[in-house]
Amino acid sequence: MQQSRTASTDAGLHTRWNVQLIGLVAVLVMVNFVVDSAIAAPLLVLPEMLDHFDTDQAAWLNATAMLAGVLWAPLLGKSADIYGKRTMLVLTLLLSCAGAIVCAVAPNIWVFVPGRMLQGASLAAVFLSVAIVRSVCAPRIAMIIVGIVTSGSAVLNIASRFLIEKLAMESGFQILFLVSAFVAAAMAICVHNVIPESPVKTPGKIDVSGALLLGGGLAGALSYLSLGSDLGWLAVGPLALLVGGVAALARWLLVSSRKPDPLIDVRDLGGPLALTLLIVFLGAGSYQSMLQLISLIGDVSADQQLGYGLADQGSVALLLAAPGFGVMLGGPGAGWLAARIGPASTLAGAVLLGTVATMGMFLGASQLPAALFFAFLLGVTVGALGTSGFNMAGSLAPAERQGIVSSLVMVMVAIGSVVLDFVGAAVLESTATVVDGDTTNSATGVFSYIAIASGAFAIAAVLAVMLMRSTRLSRNSPALDLARDAL
């Protein structure tokens, strides 16, 4: 009986490259370019946005989209399992388009931040693309294609870095968001016309209240980190946000544990999946926080004698383009390795590399060649980390739950990025110094920032080795094999 179910499930799946599959992959690669234009590209004009809105809240401008991704990802992931992956991917792209337009015309930060929250929906495009690949491809080739789809847009990202930098200097940072809106709208049309709707759908309903509790709780807790350093950690406003956020998260956990069909069923998370999600949380958060730091130190000259600075050694676009070259190698390479040695081993290798690369930024903070080299290694890391995380989580889920399980990976990416972005920003603000009447980041803050990211990667490396060993023990256990056969 088990063999017949497997055979019927695999029937019609792509097992090798063909024209139809190449077209599908090309569209999904472009879809993921939309994600970069919404999430990572604004880092290029972060100093200009800070000046335009007269604020020092870099984490809010940079991480708001990631924060919103915590709300959007499980909603769209669950909806994809119920209503279809293509339908939800088109909706995701349209939401991102609308958010980009709001950001482009925003007269102040209070309008800009909601626009960034709409753009945060674009994060769902990553895991929806992965879920689509796994629904149309056999597992072995799917692992490779996941790497291409999640990392292939890096080629476009590299070229766009230099173009956007030039356009922003001539027309203002708003041009970046107009370009993002145009690309999102164009790809929504392409997805509707090229990508087939997923044949496997799961009956169920959407837990909107759970998503609001989860997103609101995280927003409150993280707002405390952002505002506490300015207004005081014991001030009434920040404390109210912290208490409200913690209460909302506690309520979400309580309600979710009682619902028969919650947005995220924490009771159904096995040990390997929980480990995978925690590794992704730490690794992705560390990487994203380092991207924010690279943008900031790239705007400081070594002539200011702060103990760091790269502005007089090369452009910020060059520094942010270096990880793109690494992503091009890391994503497809991790997919190829996962098909041969397994996603758990590949994930462990990616995190170990990330630990080394992040620690290397102690030197890269003041030396451009070192910064470019370790930024490249960070790119290899994030390409391999994302691919291996999705492949690992996907291998632990049945076909009817690919959408929601893949969304959990994206939730961990979003939460990790937001947490470490805010923590890093708080460290920089609390250690800032005054030079010639202007407040700027101190060397103590910058190197403490790098130390925090390195420590998070080191913890993730330990967990990744544990995951690799546990999956090997599971594969080699006759008792577990009999249990799986019985199910």
Using one digit for the tens of pLDDT, what is the confidence trace for 156-195? Answer: 766 676 677 777 777 778 888 888 899 999 999 999 998 8
Type of residue found at 136 = V
Quick one: angle between helices 208-231 and 236-258, nearest 10? 160
User: Tell me, what's the pLDDT at 383?
Assistant: 87
Cα separation values, 410 from 67, 73, 76, 87, Å: 11, 7, 11, 19
Give the Cα separation of 246 and 292 in Å (integer): 26
Neighbouring C-beta atoms of residue 326, cutoff 10 Å: 25
User: Tell me, what's the pLDDT at 46?
Assistant: 78
User: Tell me, what's the pLDDT at 2?
Assistant: 34
Concatenated DSSP letters of 347-361: HHHHHHHHHHHHHHH
DSSP 476: T
Tokens 């076909």 label which residue? Answer: 399
Give the Cα separation of 475 and 394 in Å (integer): 17
The pLDDT > 70 percentage for the chain reads: 87
Residue 129 CA from chain centroid, whole number = 14
What's the average model confidence in pLDDT over 442-466? Answer: 91
Concatenated DSSP letters of 290-302: HHHHHHHHTTS-G
What's the average model confidence in pLDDT over 429-444? Answer: 78
* Per-residue model confidence as pLDDT tens digits over 97-146: 999 999 999 888 889 888 988 998 888 888 898 888 888 888 888 888 88
* Residue that wins the pLDDT comparison between 91 and 38: 91
Of the pLDDT bands very low, low, confident and very high (cuts 50, 70, 90), residue 477 is very low
What's the average model confidence in pLDDT over 61-75? Answer: 76
Here the tokens at position 310 are: 């790269």
Q: Judge contact between 115 and 92, C-beta under 8 A.
A: no
User: Tell me, what's the pLDDT at 456?
Assistant: 93
* Residue that wins the pLDDT comparison between 351 and 53: 351
Question: Is 63 a residue whose pLDDT tops 70?
Answer: no
What's the average model confidence in pLDDT over 329-334? Answer: 88
Q: Where are the domains of the chain?
A: 14-198+263-486, 207-262
* Per-residue model confidence as pLDDT tens digits over 349-389: 999 999 999 999 999 888 888 888 998 999 899 889 988 98
Cα separation values, 105 from 101, 123, 178, 377, Å: 6, 22, 9, 36
Q: Judge contact between 331 and 36, C-beta under 8 A.
A: no
User: Tell me, what's the pLDDT at 98?
Assistant: 95
Question: Is 267 a residue whose pLDDT tops 70?
Answer: no
Give the Cα separation of 29 and 33 in Å (integer): 7
The pLDDT > 90 percentage for the chain reads: 18
Give the Cα separation of 244 and 227 in Å (integer): 15
Here the tokens at position 118 are: 């709409």
Type of residue found at 365 = A
The CA-based angle 464-465-467, given to 5 degrees, is 65
Closest CA to 153 of 25, 317, 62: 25
Task: Identify the weakest region by mean pLDDT among 46-50, 197-201, 291-295.
Answer: 197-201
Architecture of domain 14-198+263-486: Up-down Bundle (1.20)
Of the pLDDT bands very low, low, confident and very high (cuts 50, 70, 90), residue 315 is low
User: Tell me, what's the pLDDT at 478?
Assistant: 42
Here the tokens at position 476 are: 């080699």
User: Tell me, what's the pLDDT at 88?
Assistant: 93
* Per-residue model confidence as pLDDT tens digits over 203-242: 777 777 887 787 778 777 767 766 665 667 787 878 888 8
Give the Cα separation of 429 and 320 in Å (integer): 23
Type of residue found at 274 = A
Question: Is 282 a residue whose pLDDT tops 70?
Answer: yes
Give the Cα separation of 384 and 343 in Å (integer): 10
Closest CA to 226 of 63, 116, 36, 439: 63
Of the pLDDT bands very low, low, confident and very high (cuts 50, 70, 90), residue 404 is confident
Helix boundaries (H) for 366-487? 368-395, 402-430, 443-475, 478-486
Question: Is 62 a residue whose pLDDT tops 70?
Answer: no
Closest CA to 333 of 386, 375, 371, 291: 386
Q: Judge contact between 349 and 336, C-beta under 8 A.
A: no
Give the Cα separation of 458 and 218 in Å (integer): 24
Phi and psi angles of residue 69, each rounded to the nearest 5 degrees, phi first = -60, -30
Residue 411 CA from chain centroid, whole number = 8
Quick one: angle between helices 368-395 and 343-364, nearest 10? 160
Give the Cα separation of 93 and 472 in Å (integer): 39
Give the Cα separation of 96 and 85 in Å (integer): 17
Q: Work out the end-to-end distance of the chain between its first and last CA atoms, rounded to an integer number of angstroms.
A: 11
Of the pLDDT bands very low, low, confident and very high (cuts 50, 70, 90), residue 247 is very high
Concatenated DSSP letters of 46-98: HHHHHHHTT---HHHHHHHHHHHHHHHHHHHHHHHHHH-HHHHHHHHHHHHHH
